[in-house]
């Protein structure tokens, strides 16, 4: 009798266990599976710290490690399964081609893994637009890659880093961000890598895509896209850095009244393979600078006319006879991004017709 009662009790307990387990599994099954997002930390103000809560300038960038950045935003766990790697820890004005190659190769290795659904790169804002554009041209995946920074250090009142990081992670975890090229998430806005730039030295709304337009917003923990970039990027890009250990030297000469060729001549003497001429207006070339550019071209360097102005199309054969001088024009790329495209293009060709095609496609 006792054995029968015990068996019935055990059966009832076991039955309740099965039901409870099934309920947990059912709840888990009902919860959407969170994407796996890897955060690659490189430094910058988002990892910076200042002496007081009102120190928003004159702080130290690149002092806080990636695990601390993740720990400071526990809400990340609500939007993705997050892991972190400290790729390097620098203020981004010190970014180099070698840093870019290291970072890009790591991104491509990670994105080739099925276990990685997206990547967030925390970065200083000074050269964030450049790293974003470089990656836009060399990442070999449709998976989201999102760059994020902060205009105020983590120790400052109303620091923008935590919310920017949260937004960047939820964007990288969202399927709608796939296939749109490398993205920049700053100030609740989504920008495309090609056309975004830092437009203010210190205010939180510094990142803008002034005329061509940002791609969308992040609001209420959700991304909203309204446009896409029409230029080639990521899996449609012809550039491959997997076997590169260095990039060709390309330098920028800045145009201004009373300009001379001292900088240009020095860059050429130092072995520059390409020169971005950041001219005044529509890429105009001062009369006393033109002979220096012509000589540099004759010596084999590629000359790309860009503009210091920052917006608008650089008209071919407008302010200079590019056909006759065998120059290339930068289309709408600012000088620092034209430099990136020319460096990568020179790994493929030094034919100026091919180079011009590349500038009209990326």
Contact residues for ligand DGL, defined by CB under 6 A: 44-45, 61, 91-93, 124-126, 149-151
Residue 254 has φ and ψ, to the nearest 5°, of -95, 130
Give DSSP secondary structure letters for 64-116: S-HHHHHHT-TTHHHH-EEEEEEEEEE-GGG--HHHHHHHHHHHHHHHTSTT-
149 vs 216, which CB is nearer to ligand DGL?
Answer: 149
Rg (CA), the chain: 25
150 vs 183, which CB is nearer to ligand DGL?
Answer: 150
Least distance to ligand DGL from the beta carbon of 172, Å?
Answer: 19
129 vs 331, which CB is nearer to ligand DGL?
Answer: 129
- The pair of structure tokens assigned to 333 is 């790329």
Least distance to ligand DGL from the beta carbon of 132, Å?
Answer: 13
What are the residue ranges of helices labelled H in the chain?
Answer: 2-30, 66-71, 76-79, 97-111, 128-138, 161-172, 262-269, 290-298, 322-325, 335-345, 352-361
Among the listed residues 38, 45, 56, 332, the single catalytic one is 45
125 vs 352, which CB is nearer to ligand DGL?
Answer: 125
Residue 33 has φ and ψ, to the nearest 5°, of -70, 130
DSSP helix/strand/coil, 253: strand
The crossing angle, in degrees rounded to 10, of helices 290-298 and 262-269 is: 10
Among the listed residues 63, 125, 127, 209, the single catalytic one is 125
Least distance to ligand DGL from the beta carbon of 50, Å?
Answer: 11
38 is catalytic: no
45 is catalytic: yes
Least distance to ligand DGL from the beta carbon of 56, Å?
Answer: 10
Residue whose CB is nearest to ligand DGL in the complex, by number: 124
* Residue list for the binding site: 92, 125-126
What residues are labeled active site?
A: 45, 125
């Amino acid at each position: 009798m006792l054995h029968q009662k015990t068996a019935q009790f055990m059966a009832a307990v076991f039955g309740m266990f099965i039901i409870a387990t099934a309920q947990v599994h059912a709840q888990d099954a009902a919860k959407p599976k969170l994407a796996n997002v890897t955060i690659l930390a490189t430094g910058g103000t988002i990892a910076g710290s200042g002496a007081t809560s009102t120190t928003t300038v004159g702080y130290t960038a690149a002092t806080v490690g990636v695990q601390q950045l993740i720990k400071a935003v526990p809400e990340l766990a609500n939007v993705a399964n997050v892991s972190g790697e400290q790729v390097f820890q620098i203020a981004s004005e010190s970014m180099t081609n070698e840093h870019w190659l290291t970072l890009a190769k790591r991104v491509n290795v990670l994105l080739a893994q099925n276990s990685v659904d997206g990547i967030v790169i925390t970065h200083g804002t000074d050269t964030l637009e450049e790293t974003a554009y470089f990656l836009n041209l060399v990442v070999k995946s449709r998976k989201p890659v999102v760059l994020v920074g902060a205009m105020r250090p983590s120790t400052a009142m109303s620091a923008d880093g935590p919310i920017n990081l949260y937004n960047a992670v939820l964007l990288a975890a969202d399927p709608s961000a796939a296939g749109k090229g490398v993205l920049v998430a700053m100030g609740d806005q989504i920008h495309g890598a090609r056309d975004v730039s830092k437009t203010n030295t210190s205010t939180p709304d510094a990142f803008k895509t002034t005329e061509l337009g940002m791609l969308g917003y992040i609001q209420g923990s959700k991304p909203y896209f309204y446009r896409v970039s029409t230029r080639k990027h990521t899996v449609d890009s012809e550039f491959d850095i997997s076997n590169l250990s260095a990039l060709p030297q390309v330098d920028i000469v800045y145009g201004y009244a009373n300009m001379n060729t001292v900088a240009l001549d020095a860059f050429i003497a130092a072995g520059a393979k390409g020169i971005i001429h950041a001219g005044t207006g529509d890429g105009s070339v001062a009369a006393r600078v033109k002979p220096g550019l012509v000589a540099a071209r004759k010596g084999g360097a590629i000359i790309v006319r860009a503009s210091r102005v920052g917006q608008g199309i650089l008209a071919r054969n407008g302010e200079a006879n590019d056909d006759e001088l065998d120059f290339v024009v930068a289309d709408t790329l600012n000088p620092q991004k034209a430099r990136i495209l020319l460096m990568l293009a020179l790994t493929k060709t030094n034919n100026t017709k091919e180079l011009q095609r590349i500038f009209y496609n990326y």
